[in-house]
């Protein structure tokens, strides 16, 4: 459970149809201690902790509201143990237990390549003088074999920050720009959560939290775009 400060309530949403319940509890996805990984990057807040939540993966498509939520706490001395949060299956929209099994991960730098699988819709990845490459389907296959696959397969991961991910259609940054505002280059994937442990997203899918770069610079996490990509 999230180590939210005592004065920060656990986020809730909707109307819970179950007897004795008024609303649903967000699923807690994870938290990032920005202070501990400040030396690895220069785009996240330099201090504090980011908390990631999700209504349910079923609300990612077709819903009227953003199904994801991020809470940022700037001062880590305010954090309090999440053990105080005790939920049951009935508190959630859909959950097999009281919450996902939690564990700590090790952060490290890695390289990440964009997916060339769906270049036909992600044409902005290849532009200006390079646009001629779009006419050479063989070259795009070669880019996958010689660049994309070796680079992405080099490091195994279960979570990523500011990284690319595989998609069969529009990449998450393009989806965000089409759904909200700006150009895809104006957006970045804040976090990728893969299907690991008891977190299983559709058919071995990944969940992407995408943020506009201007919002990140302002530490405004109220307009994050969430999408799910699966095989």
Supply 11's token pair.
């986020």
Q: Are strands 159-160 and 68-73 parallel, antiparallel or unpaired?
A: unpaired
Superfamily of chain region 12-229:
YwqG-like (2.30.320.10)
Domain ranges (residues) in the chain:
12-229
- For residues 184 and 200, give the distance between their C-alpha atoms in angstroms, rounded to a whole number: 27
**Tens-digit pLDDT profile for the chain (231 aa)?**
999 999 999 999 988 888 888 899 999 999 999 999 999 999 999 999 999 999 998 888 766 678 999 999 999 999 999 999 999 999 998 887 777 878 888 888 888 777 777 777 777 777 777 777 777 777 777 777 777 777 777 667 778 888 887 788 889 999 999 989 889 999 999 999 887 777 777 776 889 999 999 999 999 999 999 999 876
The per-residue pLDDT for 217 is 95
């Amino acid at each position: 459970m999230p180590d939210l400060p005592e004065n920060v309530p656990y986020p809730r949403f909707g109307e819970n149809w179950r007897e004795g319940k008024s609303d649903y509890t967000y699923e807690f996805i994870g938290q990032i201690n920005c202070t501990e990984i400040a030396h690895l990057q220069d785009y996240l807040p330099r201090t504090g902790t980011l908390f990631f939540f999700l209504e349910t993966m079923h609300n990612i498509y077709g819903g009227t509201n953003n199904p994801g939520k991020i809470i940022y706490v700037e001062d880590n001395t305010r954090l309090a143990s999440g053990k105080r949060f005790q939920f049951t299956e009935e508190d959630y929209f859909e959950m097999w237990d009281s919450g996902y099994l939690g564990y700590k991960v090790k952060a490290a730098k890695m390289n990440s390549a964009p997916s060339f699988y769906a270049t036909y819709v992600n044409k902005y990845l290849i532009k200006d003088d390079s646009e001629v490459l779009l006419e050479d389907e063989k070259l795009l296959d070669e880019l996958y074999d010689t660049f994309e696959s070796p680079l992405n397969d080099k490091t195994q991961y279960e979570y990523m920050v500011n990284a690319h991910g595989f998609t069969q259609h529009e990449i998450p940054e393009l989806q965000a720009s089409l759904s909200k505002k700006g150009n895809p280059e104006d957006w970045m994937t804040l976090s990728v959560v893969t299907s690991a442990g008891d977190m299983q997203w559709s058919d071995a899918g990944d969940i992407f939290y995408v943020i506009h770069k201007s919002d990140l610079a302002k530490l405004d996490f109220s307009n994050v775009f969430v999408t799910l990509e699966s095989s």
